[in-house]
């Protein structure tokens, strides 16, 4: 089972960027952790990152067309991108799973982070556990897939 693990703007700066908020792990560390967790769960994960809204929208279209489930950290796009929301909606309405993830807990941060325009079209959300948010998201996805077969 293929899972696209998609990361939005500034997540390529992990490890350097506000380590007190996002931790010291880099995107490369995240990618190798995701690969290991996914294979334990019998999933084939592909981790990508972009700062470009049109690119991440295109990846969501690709998920729909290639029937891949999605773990999505929309980063700042979470809070205002209706284009991303509409693309995410295509994933879940086509019967695929999409788990919204965040390293930090946006609800405990600035007011503008309290809104997610993606949450309502996601299967579910995991936030606040650092890299472990991704492990929990993959486990939730694998669990849901198992219960449905
Ligand atoms: C984030 C939270 C967002 O508010 C922020 O813009 C990010 C990262 C997280 O993983 O905690 O870039 O999505």
65-123 residue pLDDT tens? 999 999 999 999 999 999 999 999 999 999 999 999 999 999 999 999 999 999 999 99
CA-angle at 97, arms to 39 and 32, nearest 5°: 30
Could you tell me which residues are annotated as the binding site for substrate?
Answer: 73, 79, 86, 103-104, 113
Which residue's CA is the nearest one to ligand 1's atom 9? Answer: 102
Contact call for residues 64 and 53 (beta carbons, < 8 A):
no
Higher pLDDT residue, 72 or 17?
Answer: 72
Q: Quick check: CB of 23 below 6 Å from ligand 1?
A: no
Q: What is 2-147's CATH topology?
A: Rossmann fold (3.40.50)
> Which parts of 53-133 are beta strand (E)?
69-73, 98-102, 124-127
Residue 72 φ/ψ, nearest 5 degrees: -125, 120
Residues labelled as active-site residues: 22, 102
- Tell me the domain boundaries of the chain: 2-147
Contact call for residues 100 and 78 (beta carbons, < 8 A):
yes
> Which parts of the chain are beta strand (E)?
2-7, 44-49, 69-73, 98-102, 124-127
pTM higher than 0.95, yes or no? yes
- Mutate which of 13, 14, 103 to test ligand 1's pocket (most atoms within 8 Å of Cβ)? 103
Q: How far apart are CA 115 and CA 64, in angstroms?
A: 25
pLDDT (0 to 100) of residue 43 = 98
């Amino acid at each position: 089972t293929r899972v696209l693990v998609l990361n939005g703007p500034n997540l390529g700066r992990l490890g350097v960027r506000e380590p007190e908020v996002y931790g010291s792990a880099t995107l490369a560390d995240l990618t190798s952790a995701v690969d290991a967790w996914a294979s334990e769960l019998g999933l084939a994960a592909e981790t990508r990152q972009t700062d470009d809204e049109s690119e991440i929208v295109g990846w969501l279209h690709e998920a729909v067309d290639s029937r891949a489930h999605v773990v999505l950290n929309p980063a700042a796009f979470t809070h205002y991108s209706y284009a991303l929301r509409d693309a995410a909606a295509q994933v879940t309405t086509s019967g695929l799973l999409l788990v919204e993830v965040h390293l930090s807990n946006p609800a405990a941060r600035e007011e503008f982070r309290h809104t997610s325009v993606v949450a309502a079209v996601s299967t579910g959300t995991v936030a606040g556990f650092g890299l472990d948010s991704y492990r929990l998201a993959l486990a939730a996805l694998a669990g849901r897939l198992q219960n449905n077969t």
